[in-house]
Amino acid sequence: MEPSHALRYARQHRARFLTELKEFLKFPSVSSQAERAVDVRKCAEWLARHLKGIGFERVRVIPTRGNPIVYASWARSSSRPTLIIYGHYDVLPGEPLREWHTAPFVPTLKNDNLHARGAADDKGQLFSHIKAIESYLKTNRALPVNVKCIFEGEEEIGSPNLTPFVQRNRRVLGAGALAAVISDTRMLSAEQPAISYAQRGGLRAELEVFGAAQELHSGAFGGAVHNPVLALCDIVASLHDEDGRITIPGFYDDVRSWGEKEREYMARYGPSDEEILRAAKVDLGWGESGYSLYERTTIRPDVGVNGIVGGHTGHGVKGIIPTRALAKISFRLVPNQSPEKIAQLFRDHVAKITPPTVRSTVRTMSPIHPALIDRRHPAVQAARTAYKKAFGVPAVFVRSGGSIPVVHTFQNVLGIPAVLMGFGLPDDHIHGPNEKLHLPTFYKAIETSIWYLTLTSRMGTTVRSQRHKEWSA
């Protein structure tokens, strides 16, 4: 099947594609806020209707214990391989609202950028595949490969129901599957596409420290009763040593170290310290000595605090010793760390260093295994070529610091590689205020997807039966 008609169609209908994407972005489908559950469901239903409208054979909104999975398939070609296309229609909260220049759920065009929560992460990227598929179906009445779309609504809360879903449906999903395409990562720039071949894992923990059962007057008791905020700060401060290394005993035991060859490859193709600092808009880097910033965010683990709260946080003063203080802690893990083992090490460590004058609790959640993808796999190499067709330059291979829970699942349950065909840009402000999507890149993403559908259709059964093995360098 030739992509020329599909490509022409995609170019002709850009204005409509943009209008539809805006509709998609208007849903505040925030998975981490219980009060948004209805919006999440409405968004799923809108997405399902849209998929039916463009010509998918089978579309279902599949309930889970949490938010529904939108599933859509087109599988008329028994002689061709099957691509699984994964994306997520849930988003992070818009807060802090006062730091947005436009309302997060009122998609707003500014020059070449569409501003909205989820514009890049991940509605816009997901939508580029939908529009590629539409372009083929409307011009050729068929796709060059079989496609099964899995669009989940819980990625931002650690995909608790996605792995069970994939496991339950492993036979249907795995049949003839070549690879899982995931567009939820970044390129190096608008001119330089990139394919991620490594993802950090993760673990979230809520560390809470309790002092006296009731707020105490800080004059009457200050100096004689332990302040739980001070105790929490002590614990959090003690998580790093002066070299930026994490002090939890055993934390580095399973961290894989990489040889000179891999580190040279990373230095050559990955972002420089300067590029990372520019993307973050900060002047100075921070972290573990002996590693570049790119290495610190990819082959080295991290522990940070997403949020902290305790005592009187409103305006004005209140002379109290608070009763409790909470830190929301986030670990980013690397091969071969196990989130379950790290959870136990962290628990043990906190229990050990909590002074007897306060009490502490640790709740862990959202464990995500780190993942590596073999960049020599033909389905991965095809993505490289597809980028070259759309962007004029082949993609380079980079590691990602983030965590996409499902990568590990596809690899381990279905035995297929995740092809991390990202279209985000470093300055898209995903997870922050003023998230945006670069529209010229969005349009090229649609074309990249059209090319990828085309290129993978030529792959024979030998590739299909070649089970994915995690790459070992």
Residues of this chain, 374-413, that bind its own copies according to CB under 8 A: 400-403
Among 3, 87, 124, 322, binds its own copies (CB under 8 A): 322
Query: What is the full DSSP assignment across 395-413?
Result: PEEEEESS--HHHHHIIII
Total number of residues binding its own copies (CB under 8 A)? 101
258 scored as a contact of its own copies (CB under 8 A) = no
Scanning the structure block, which residue is given the tokens 């082959």? 299
Q: Is residue 312 at the binding interface for its own copies, with CB under 8 A as the rule?
A: yes
Residue 276 touching its own copies (CB under 8 A): yes
- Residue from 332, 347, 369, 444 binding its own copies (CB under 8 A): 332
Which range binds its own copies by CB under 8 A, 111-119, 156-164, 250-258, 340-348? 156-164
CB 176, min distance to its own copies, A: 32
Burial of 223 (0-12, 13-18, 19+ CB in 10 A): exposed
* Least distance from its own copies to the Cβ atom of residue 181, Å: 20
Per rule CB under 8 A, is residue 314 in the interface with its own copies? Answer: yes
Q: From the list 40, 149, 216, 406, which residue makes contact with its own copies (rule: CB under 8 A)?
A: 216
**Per rule CB under 8 A, is residue 153 in the interface with its own copies?**
no
Cβ proximity to its own copies: between 45 and 206 the closer is 206
**What b/e string do you get for 346-355 counting C-beta neighbours within 10 Å, with b at 16 or more?**
bbebbeeebe
Output 73 or 227, the one with its CB closest to its own copies.
Answer: 227
- Out of 117, 148, 204, 399, name the contact with its own copies by CB under 8 A: 204
Q: Any idea of the CA torsion for 114, 120, 125, 131, to the nearest 10 degrees?
A: -20
* Position 225 contacts its own copies (CB under 8 A): yes
> What is the torsion angle, in degrees rounded to the nearest 10, for the CA atoms of residue 397, residue 120, residue 370 and residue 70?
-120
The answer to the question of residue 318 lying near its own copies (CB under 8 A) is yes
Site string for its own copies, 69-108 (x = CB under 8 A): -----------------------xx-xx--x---------
Choices 19-27, 127-135, 142-150, 275-283 (CB under 8 A): range interacting with its own copies: 275-283
Closest residue by Cα to residue 201 from 329, 307, 350, 342: 342
Amino acid (one-letter) located at 120: A
Closest distance of CB 333 from its own copies, Å: 11
Q: Which is nearer to its own copies, 135 or 366 (CB)?
A: 366
Please give the backbone phi and psi of residue 122, each rounded to the nearest 5 degrees, phi first.
-135, 10
Q: Is 378 helix (H, G, I), strand (E, B) or coil?
A: helix
CA 197 – CA 400 distance, rounded (Å):
8
Q: Give residues with Cβ within 8 angstroms of 426, minimum separation 6.
A: 186, 188, 189, 271, 275, 278, 279
Tell whether residue 364 is a contact of its own copies (CB under 8 A): no
**Beta carbon nearer to its own copies, 200 or 377:** 200
Residue (268 or 315) nearer to its own copies, CB: 315
Considering beta carbons, is residue 80 or 200 the nearer one to its own copies? 200
Alpha helices per DSSP H over 88-227:
123-140, 162-168, 170-174, 218-221
Closer residue to its own copies in complex, CB, 292/456: 292
Dist CA 362 CA 307 (whole Å): 15
Given candidates 106, 172, 267, 282, which one binds its own copies under the rule CB under 8 A? 282
Q: Residues 144, 310, 335, 367: which binds its own copies (CB under 8 A)?
A: 310
Dihedral of the alpha carbons of 432, 433, 434, 440, in degrees to the nearest 10: 10
- DSSP for 225-246, written as a single string: B--HHHHHHHHHHTTB-TTS-B
* Shortest Å distance, C-beta 147 to its own copies: 28
Q: CB 223 → its own copies: shortest distance, Å?
A: 4
10 Å Cβ neighbour count for 376?
9
